[in-house]
Structure 1
Amino acid sequence: MTDFTKQVLDIIKSIPHGKVMTYGQIAAVAGNPRGARQVSRILNSMSGSHQLPWHRVINSKGGISLTGEGGFVQTNMLISEGIEVQNKRVDLKKYLYQFD
């Protein structure tokens, strides 16, 4: 496992209940500002085995990128944490987590 992957996993695990981060934001904090797609791949392949709160990761516009059942599940999981979702979008000004 690369250092970038380890950092991405740690960052995602640190997103608190009721907050979200973007793919690009996670990539930048992990040291690769152009690695948003890599973050997506990590989420896709490692969410289950690392118990990642995958539903707290959204796109740079505050949108839920998943379609179909996955998007429905993600929306409901965010709502269950008190995050308002309207038209598959989250208000980043209100819910974005600033990783320290």
Structure 2
Amino acid sequence: MQPFTLKVIEIIQAIPAGKVMTYGQVAQSAGSPRSARQVVRILHSMSGKYKLPWHRVINAKGEIALKDGEGGHEQRVLLESEGIVVSSEHKVDLTVYQLRGRELEDDRDWDTI
């Protein structure tokens, strides 16, 4: 497995309940700020195998990317079950719920996100 993929998996696994990160934020934290689409691919192909909390990763606008169908509904339900408010436009208030600073338990420099 590629080092970037491993870092992405570690970062997503570390997102606590009640918080979200954006695809770009995960990519930047994993060392490749222009790889948000790769984060999407990793989530799509590895969420089940690594039990990733995929629902805690949203787009840069704070929106659930899977608006239509079962996936979008499931993501909304999972986020709301953790206390995250999702608007009728499928948006999450990033000023309230986005993971920032040193909110993770390890020593990464999350302030650069």
TM-score range, shorter chain: over 0.9
Structure 1 unaligned residues grouped into runs of 5+: none
Aligned residue pairs, count? 100
More strand by share: 1
Structure 2 unaligned residues grouped into runs of 5+: 105-109
Q: Please say which structure displays the higher CA radius of gyration.
A: 2
Residue in structure 2 matched with residue 74 of structure 1 by the alignment: 75
Q: Distance in 2 between matches of 1:10 and 1:97?
A: 15
RMSD over equivalenced CA pairs, Å = 0.8
1:93 aligns with 2:95: yes
Runs of 4+ in structure 1 displaced over 4 angstroms? Answer: none
Q: What amino acid sits opposite 2:10 in the alignment? A: D
SS in 1 for 2:50: coil
Q: Name the % identity.
A: 59
Which structure would you say has the larger RCO, counting Cα contacts within 8 Å and 6 or more residues apart? 1
SS in 2 for 1:89: coil
Task: Normalising by structure 1, report the TM-score.
Answer: 0.98
For 1:22-64, what per-residue CA distance to the aligned partner results, in whole angstroms no more than 9, with x for missing partners? 0000000101010000000000000000000000000000000
Task: Normalising by structure 2, report the TM-score.
Answer: 0.86
Q: What amino acid sits opposite 2:65 in the alignment? A: S
Residue in structure 1 matched with residue 33 of structure 2 by the alignment: 33
